[in-house]
Amino acid sequence: MVTYSRSGDLVLAALSDGMPRSSREVVDLTGLNRAQVTAALSRCWRRGLVLRTRDAIYEHQRIFRGRSGISQNTRPYHLYLLKPEGRDMAEVDGRRFVIYAEEHLDPRGGGSVSKARRIIDFLRLHRDEAYFSNDVVEALDEHGVMPRDIMANVRRFERRGLVYVRGYKTDERQTPFERGYLLTWLDGGEPRGQAIAEAVERTDGALAGQASSSPLMERVHRIRDIVLEHSKLRKLVGHTYIENKLACTGHESDMAVGRCLQLYPDLKETKIFNNYRYYYHSGLSEEDLRAAVEMKRNYIRIAKGRDNRIGHNWEAAAEWFIDRFTTGARFWTQNHRTREMDGRRITLHLLKGVGGRRNAAEVDRVWEVTPGVFAPPITYVLSCKWGLVTKGHVDDFLEVLRWSKDFGVQTPDGREVKQAVVGVFAASAFNPRESVRLKDDSTVSLAQYAARRNLQLITAADFNAKLRERGCQRGITAQKVCRAARDEDEVRGALDSIWKKPGDAEKALERLRDMNRDLYEFEERLEKEDSVGSLGL
């Protein structure tokens, strides 16, 4: 069998054992480069010396590229087989190998109409219209065109000046509309400026009645309206109120507020206690501004302090139950700048910013448990939240663990949490109606999602069940203890008292309420005068 080339002889020698091989495997066996092997295999197939798989094989691959991260793609390839004597076809492991024929050529080789050709022909035939990319997928569905095929080819056509692509435009990039990018043909027979103007006009018609501006600018205009409204009422508007009204993420609201202050110099920002951000219009008089600021200061002193008080009390309650029911738990401690901060709260160093935190993030408790003499210790990291917990809170906690210096590790698949580290999320309640859609389009509950991420969820109901087992009445709950106690020490003392004498739990809780009644009355009085709804927090 003669091929009249050294590379062809080496390729045939690599296939001489009768095993199907890909071009990459032939490269490894022959020592030739990829271009030489590809050309030699093509020549051998066309000359009838080898058989090739009739259908391409598609393989999803993940390539770790160090600091650049992980790249993913789908690689199509063929297998080659030395042609058996007197046979033009073979079947190995369920794959059919065929001899060269035009009908077996891939679309890229000119054997049939490619998906790229169908896409460009569709836009050319409908040159007087503009279509969203999702509409193009539906129109070409019978030809096997998928969503991922559209923009990969359209971007090539755009670079060649054949197609006009329109989406949401920001300073840095372009993003698709809800139904995808808007596509239309660019007529090369007309002057360039005229062709672009006509393309823009067609896309304007397709966007009629829809939001066509940048989502960022829509938020900017909405923020200005909100600030003007509150300033007319002689009130300041808080950043949290804006975020809730816009129904967007914290990062999106931060960007929108920053851009709004840049575009509209008449909007002003003030910080109260150098922490809480509020906004107003410059038309607000100095007297009204001073009064509005003082009202916010009074509210923050108590309302925010009250939230912090109950939140820290909840941390102490979770710590108490964990310490009570975990054998051999050894809690970490850390010295802090202020004495008010509990030494069991741990500050972690972050290798990458998470949720607006740049270099550090706090976790509520860290403890170690050694299962046995020869078993390595397991580290548990606790995060507490008073209120309803959603998937966003869970993901944020996991991101902190992944990117922390102590608990994260770099793997071929990216940054992950160390195997000997278990995250624990304690909350008063988890959203029972929230479900999580996974990559395979299946849906699981928030608890199931957390379990898959190796995260333990603890609710107030779990703590209350332990109190019921101890003999406490149903009205005695961990939440009531947190609301009644002035600080974390009172939480621990109250739980100790309730645990020792469960029958007197109601009396112990009532004594705690009587002792702190002045605090509750002060909080209630200020909340009536300066409620969250009326002040725009």
Q: Could you tell me if 127 and 190 are in contact, meaning their C-beta atoms sit under 8 angstroms apart? A: no
Q: The domain spanning residue 194 has which CATH number?
A: 1.10.10
Residue range 90-124, pLDDT digits in tens: 988 889 999 988 777 766 554 567 888 889 999 99
- Residue 513 domain flag: yes
Whole-prediction pTM: 0.46
Q: Does 459 score more than 90 pLDDT?
A: no
Strand ranges in 329-377 using DSSP code E only, listed in sequence order: 330-331, 346-349, 360-363, 365-369
Q: Which domain holds residue 319?
A: 305-529
Q: The domain spanning residue 76 has which CATH number?
A: 1.10.10.10
Run of H or E residues at 150: helix 147-159
Q: The domain spanning residue 333 has which CATH number?
A: 3.40.1350
Short-list 475, 514, 477, CA closest to 495: 477
So what's the pLDDT on residue 105? 75
Q: Does 210 score more than 70 pLDDT?
A: no
Q: Could you tell me if 163 and 157 are in contact, meaning their C-beta atoms sit under 8 angstroms apart? A: yes
Distances (CA, A) of 151 to 117, 120, 136, 167, 424: 13, 11, 11, 12, 42
The answer to whether residues 171 and 316 belong to one domain is no
Q: Does 71 score more than 80 pLDDT?
A: no
Taking the C-alpha atoms of residue 272 and residue 287, their distance in angstroms, rounded to an integer, is 17
Taking the C-alpha atoms of residue 159 and residue 45, their distance in angstroms, rounded to an integer, is 35
Residue range 294-334, pLDDT digits in tens: 888 877 766 566 777 888 889 899 999 988 988 888 889 88
Q: Does 536 score more than 60 pLDDT?
A: no
Tokens 């910013």 sit at which residue?
A: 353
Residue range 268-293, pLDDT digits in tens: 999 886 667 899 999 999 999 999 88
68: which residues sit within 8 A by CB, 6+ positions away?
Answer: none
The answer to whether residues 235 and 375 belong to one domain is no
Residue range 461-507, pLDDT digits in tens: 999 999 999 999 888 999 999 989 988 889 999 999 999 999 999 99
The answer to whether residues 455 and 327 belong to one domain is yes
How many folded domains does the chain comprise? 4
Last residue of a domain, one of 152, 176, 206: 206
